[in-house]
Amino acid sequence: MCGIFACHHHPDVIAFKPKALQLAKLLPSIRHRGPDWSGNFIKNKTIIAHERLAIVGLDTGAQPLLNEDQSISLGVNGEIYNHVVLRHKLFPDYPFKTQSDCEVIIPLYQKFDIDCPNHLDGMFAFVLYDAEKDRTIAARDPIGITSLYMGRSSSTPGAVYFASEMKSLAEVCDDISVFPPGHVYDSATDKFTRYFKPTWWDEERVPTTPLDLKAIRTSLETSVRKRLMSEVPYGVLLSGGLDSSLIASIAARETRKAQAIDTATTTSTLTGVDEDGHLSGAASWPRLHSFAIGLPGAPDLIAARKVADFIGTVHHEHTFTLQEGLDALSDVIYHLETYDVTTIRASTPMYLLSRMIKAGGVKMVLSGEGSDEIFGGYLYFGAAPSAEEFHAETVKRVKNLHFADCLRANKSTCAWGLEARVPFLDKAFLELVMNIDPKEKMITKERIEKYILRKAFDTTDEPETEAYLPAEILWRQKEQFSDGVGYSWIDCLKDTAEKFVSDEDFANPKPQWGEDVPTTKEAYWYRCMFDEHFPTKTCADTVMRWIPKADWGCAADPSGRFVKSHVKSVDA
């Protein structure tokens, strides 16, 4: 991941430049997202500043990227997995200046205008300036894996600001909003256009596509293979749950395959996936490294160790103490830019683990976010009254991932200059799974949550196929990450909040909170820490809270432990 800060049509852009670079570079902003290189470009009244984390095109991919006559400048945060195919098929004669996977966005814009994001397969947020037209377009990936914010200021009417994180805009904008995923903004019209229009987007359209277990397996394997595009050593986050374990298992297989390929025979020396779907130019150690975190004796640590032994990774465990977690809370909230209880609980261990991973020389990891949303894997889905409502809830959860799990994965890792890639949110995989008849996904007495995903990778009836996971992991009940790191983590957070928030304070929420009043002392505590970092209402307006469906009999606490069907781990 990288960091972007841009402003279109600033009335005095030269005078503003020092402020813009300060917002992009200093510790209180987004330098952590891109510690490898800083760059900026000014033309007319527009500036683009970029902080780079180098993963692909290490020697030549510094940004902003420019076309030949420097009339187009581009700042990108993300990874474009199909850049090799786009270069060879659409632009064989384009004079590319770098091996960056992101440079292909420039000729795509020249050819397809604001429809250019539709041709990208990856996670991204970008700001592109066309000096000849004095026009800026900005876009965000379909699901919002990569963070992006947009702002305006009453002191500079007509100017539009963009940044990878809200904190970069807080000093200069009195109007800040989350840039909507799957959209492109065009300064020529000052409007957004939704470019991502999948067949499953309408919540009321209930799909009827029959189940194809082989297609699920093949599609997820392809998704993981794409995301191994890298010129730096990579690893996998391994909680020991179904989702991260499957990703780790596939990645271990694909890493072995990639190392066996003679890259001289591939269609390109560029890092990526070629037209035949083969991975080329992937960097890794001889064996895949996996990383897990938890309190001593945590359920996730025990399960992750079993998976690592089974799939043959070099495994790294990090145990943290309750006090270490508490000490990190304020920093976590600062980096996440949220006061959502569920997100903060799960992000704190991920934040601590990311620091350890980066210290070991890894810049990119694969993670398992998104599976619970697309398969209806949260335990409360077991109370869905019908297949239609089950499906509608999955669509809503996917649409809001950029406020929750995508935000967590992106910002917890980027806080330490680490990039997280999420194979479950691949466009093709989403198109397949979100169109499966929801009756196949429902949780019943006979079918555990995410049954069809588990069954797709169950090789019991395929003696010639190597098992992906031990049966006890493949069929392990869902354990939310904030629970799996050790049940005492959430218990400690609640107990500590009781000490910091008095009954009197809790009964008298701050007037500036309006109707967004915390319902627990833990939530009140987090909101106070958020306000210390981001005191204005415009900052708080960018936050959405993750809340399970109360009308499905869900407990007020979002932890999966409080769902009736949850089975307590013996070692928790």
Asked if residue 84 lies in contact with residue 270, where contact means CB atoms within 8 angstroms, the answer is yes
Task: Report residue 355 as tokens.
Answer: 């620091």
The alpha helices in 360-401, defined as continuous H runs, are 371-375, 387-399
Asked if residue 161 lies in contact with residue 138, where contact means CB atoms within 8 angstroms, the answer is no
How many angstroms separate the CA atoms of 321 and 327, rounded? Answer: 10
Q: Which helix (H) or strand (E) holds 220?
A: helix 213-226
Q: Which helix (H) or strand (E) holds 525?
A: helix 521-533
How many angstroms separate the CA atoms of 470 and 144, rounded? Answer: 33
Burial readout 351-388 (b: 16 or more C-beta within 10 A, e: otherwise): bbbbbbbbeeebbbbbbbbbbbbbbbbbbbbbbbeebe
Q: Around 458, how many Cα atoms within 13 Å sit in the side-chain half-sphere?
A: 15
Q: Strand, helix or coil at 136?
A: strand
How many angstroms separate the CA atoms of 464 and 53, rounded? Answer: 42
In sequence order, what are the residues at sequence separation of 6 or more whose Cβ sits closer than 8 angstroms to the Cβ of residue 249? 307, 310, 311, 457, 468, 469
Annotated catalytic residue, options 2, 7, 116, 554: 2
At what angle are helices 521-533 and 322-336 packed, to 10 degrees? 50
- For residue 401, give Cα distances in angstroms to 169, 283, 487: 22, 29, 24
Task: Report residue 226 as tokens.
Answer: 């794409």
- Per the annotation, the verdict on 2 as an active-site residue is yes
Q: Strand, helix or coil at 72?
A: strand
How many angstroms separate the CA atoms of 83 and 226, rounded? Answer: 11
Q: Strand order of the sheet with strand 314-319?
A: 314-319, 289-294, 234-237, 364-366, 419-421
How many angstroms separate the CA atoms of 447 and 458, rounded? Answer: 14
Q: Is 95 left (phi over 0), alpha (psi -120 to 50) or beta?
A: beta
In sequence order, what are the residues at sequence separation of 6 or more whose Cβ sits closer than 8 angstroms to the Cβ of residue 516? 540
Which phi and psi angles does 515 have, rounded to 5°?
-90, -10
Q: Rounded to 10 degrees, what is the CA torsion of 424, 479, 519, 524?
A: -80
How many angstroms separate the CA atoms of 117 and 124, rounded? Answer: 9
Residue 22, number of CB atoms within 10 A of its CB: 15
Peptide bond into 64 cis (omega under 30): yes
Q: Which residues does the annotation mark as catalytic?
A: 2
